[in-house]
Amino acid sequence: MKFLSYSNRGSIIEEIMHNTAQYYREHKIAYFRKTNPLYAHLSKKSKHSFGGLLEGEGREMRIKFTYKGDLDYYGLYRGRYFSIELKETQQPTFSLHLIKENQLSQLEEIDHLGGIALVLVHFIHGEKPFWLITYSQLKKLQSCKKTKKFSISEFESVSAVPIEIIYPHILNLEPILKQLMKREKQ
C-alpha cells in the first residue's frame, strides 16, 4: 500500500476495503462489491445536454451530479445481505455528522428489512484503528447521548467490534459477520 496522508482521507480505508472485497470474492467467502456512482458518458458535442448539468467554457467542463450516493460497499454473506459505509477520522471521536442523512436512511432501511447495516470507522490515530459498528448500535449510542460524537470507549460500550488486518491489507471481517448473524438468531 502506498503512503497516504490525512489529506487523502478516505483513501486508506478505501484501499484496504477494496483489497478485502477482492480477497473475499476470490476465495468465495462473501460476495462483496463497491457501489458505483451513477454517471453519464458526455462528449463535448453534448455540452448543452442533460438539463444544464454540464458546465464550463472551452476545454474545461465539470459535471454536477445531483444524485446522492449510496453506501460504499454491499454484499452477501451466507445468504444474508449487508452494506457497509466507510468513514475515517483524525479525531479521537467519531462524529455522526460524517454520515450523510441519505446514508443514515439507507442504513436504517437495510436494518429494518433484516439486512446487516454497518459503518466501518477508521480512527487514524487510534491504537485499534478499525471499528465496525452496526446501525442499531449507532442508534443506541445516539439515544444515550445528546452530542453526535462518540469515543472508542463508547463504541465498546455498545459492543462495536475492533477489526484486525490479516494478510497484507485485508480486514478480518468474516468472524464478525458470523458473530452478527448468530447474535440476531438469538
- The CATH class that applies to domain 9-35+70-185 reads alpha beta
- Predicted confidence at residue 3, as pLDDT, reads 42
SS3 39: coil
Model-wide pTM > 0.85: no
Residue type, 16: I
Mean pLDDT of 25-33: 96
In this model, does residue 40 exceed pLDDT 60?
no
Q: pLDDT-derived band of residue 62, with 50, 70 and 90 as boundaries?
A: low
Q: pLDDT-derived band of residue 43, with 50, 70 and 90 as boundaries?
A: low
Mean pLDDT of 98-107: 95
- Predicted confidence at residue 11, as pLDDT, reads 80
Q: pLDDT-derived band of residue 71, with 50, 70 and 90 as boundaries?
A: very high
Query: pLDDT tens across 123-175, in order?
Result: 999 889 999 999 999 999 999 888 899 999 999 999 999 999 998 899 999 99
Max alpha carbon distance in the chain (Å)? 62
Strand order of the sheet with strand 161-162? 31-34, 73-77, 80-89, 116-123, 130-134, 161-162
Mean pLDDT over each residue of the chain, to the nearest integer: 84
C-alpha cell at 99: 454520515
SS3 176: helix
Domain boundaries, the chain: 9-35+70-185, 37-68
Q: How many CB atoms lie under 10 A from the CB of residue 100?
A: 12
Q: pLDDT-derived band of residue 42, with 50, 70 and 90 as boundaries?
A: low
C-alpha cell at 100: 450523510
Task: Measure the CA–CA gap between 20 and 142, rounded to whole angstroms.
Answer: 29
- Predicted confidence at residue 80, as pLDDT, reads 95
Are the CB atoms for 89 and 98 separated by under 8 Å? Answer: yes
Q: Which helix (H) or strand (E) holds 82?
A: strand 80-89
